[in-house]
Amino acid sequence: MYARRRHVYFAMMGICIALFVLAWGVVRIWSVAAAVVMCLVAMVIPPLAAIVANRRGPEDRWWDEPSGDPQSDEWWDELDGKKKPR
């Protein structure tokens, strides 16, 4: 899941950069209004890409869920202050 989210993030950011570069490198020659609209669309993509990249998947472990490994869970409980150190 992490690799897929990372690929989607980089694809979205690539589209953002491509829109920006094409808007002011090519499209502005024919229509400044279209170039501005392309930049406005490109402006919306980075926050959406960050949301997609940081979204928790169904099989991702949440920060306070036990992992099933007793030693690891004990270590995390100690770090979180739920349990006194040995």
Rounded to an integer, what distance in angstroms lies between the CA atom of residue 79 and that of residue 86? 12
Q: Is residue 67 part of a domain?
A: yes
Which residue range forms the structural domain that includes residue 76?
2-80
pLDDT of 58: 67
Q: Is residue 13 part of a domain?
A: yes
pLDDT of 16: 96
Q: Give residue-wise pLDDT tens across range 32-45.
A: 999 999 999 999 99
Rounded to an integer, what distance in angstroms lies between the CA atom of residue 75 and that of residue 82? 10
Q: Is residue 23 part of a domain?
A: yes
77 or 6: which leads in pLDDT: 6
Choose from 49-53, 60-64, 74-78, 81-85 the range with maximum mean pLDDT. 49-53
Helix extents (H) in the chain: 2-25, 32-54, 70-80
**Tally of domains within the chain:** 1
Q: Is residue 86 part of a domain?
A: no
Residue 85 clears pLDDT 70, i.e. is over it:
no
Q: Whole-number mean pLDDT of the chain?
A: 85
